[in-house]
Amino acid sequence: MASLENTGWSVPGLLLVLLLVFDSDVLHVRGLEVTTGKVSTLEAMNGSTVLLPCKYHSCIGISNLYFSWHFNNNGTMEKLCDGVVPSEGVEPKVKVKHQRIEFVGSSKHENISVLLWNITFEDEGEYTCFARNPKEKYRNHSAIYTLRVVDQMREVDNTLTVIIVSVSGGVIGLAIIVMVIKALVVQFLMKDDEKNKECLVNASGNDNTENGLTGAKADNKGTPKA
């Protein structure tokens, strides 16, 4: 077995490498993350109110977590609101800088979402949710949510869905009919089989009688006279 001296590694050097690797993994796994959910694009009608979702998460906890929302206004990042979450479970102090923005998040659910009221076509674009955690050496992370504004919602063509449902219903109905017919045929065959068995039993009795077996007519003849 090779020793540390033969490999050229010293004990302090090996420990340093192991610590660096371990620390890198920990930071990668436990680092601050910000997400806008599974769907990052929303299409909404002009004049409606939309939710801009955002959540943060850190496995090692937070301390004075700073967050903000920005709107990409033709290349210029316009701040909509920002705030600080002092610690876990403590509600943040939020400064709203846009008249149609309302903060609806809660630190109890690690939620920093906002509502955008009465949207217009000018509100269409990218919204960035940003967070920074001093407890993780000021590690930061951000996520982008895209808003599309339309005059009216597009009608979804359900023709294919209707066809699939109709075909599925027809197949299920046909399967039920086949099962009912099969049950009736089996029942009919069972009755016919019972009749055949009765017929065979009767026929066997008649044969025994004609052959003079026990209980046959031959046994009933009188004793011949001397």
CB neighbour class for 32 (10 Å; exposed up to 12, middle 13-18, buried from 19): buried
pLDDT at 171: 77
| Least confident span in 88-102, 112-126, 154-168 | 154-168
Place of tokens 């090996």: 14
* 144 or 12, higher pLDDT: 144
Q: Can you tell me the distance from the alpha carbon of 7 to that of 29, in angstroms, rounded to the nearest whole number?
A: 31
Model pLDDT, residue 101: 98
| Average pLDDT of the segment spanning 130-149 | 96
Q: Which two tokens stand for residue 51?
A: 């939710």
- At 181 the pLDDT is 87
Residues facing 190 on adjacent strands: none
Question: Where does 3-124 show beta strands of DSSP type E?
Answer: 33-35, 41-45, 50-52, 55-57, 65-73, 76-85, 93-96, 101-103, 114-116
pLDDT at residue 71 in the model: 98
pLDDT at 8: 57
Pairing status of strand 41-45 against strand 139-150:
parallel
Asked if residue 120 has pLDDT above 70, the reply is yes
Residues 6+ apart with CB under 8 A from 123: 71, 116, 147, 149
In sequence order, what are the residues at sequence separation of 6 or more whose Cβ sits closer than 8 angstroms to the Cβ of residue 29? 59
For the domain made up of 30-150, the CATH class stated in words is mainly beta
Kindly report, residue by residue over 180-220, the tens digit of the pLDDT: 888 888 877 777 667 666 655 565 555 555 555 444 444 44
The region, left, alpha or beta by phi > 0 then psi within -120 to 50, assigned to residue 180 is alpha
Question: So what's the pLDDT on residue 203?
Answer: 57
Would you say residue 105 has pLDDT above 50? Answer: yes
Predicted pLDDT at 19: 42
Q: What are the φ/ψ torsions at residue 117 (nearest 5 degrees)?
A: -85, 145
What's the number of CA atoms in the CB half-sphere (13 Å) around residue 202? 6
User: Quick check: 14 pLDDT over 50?
Assistant: no
Are the CB atoms for 79 and 97 separated by under 8 Å?
A: yes
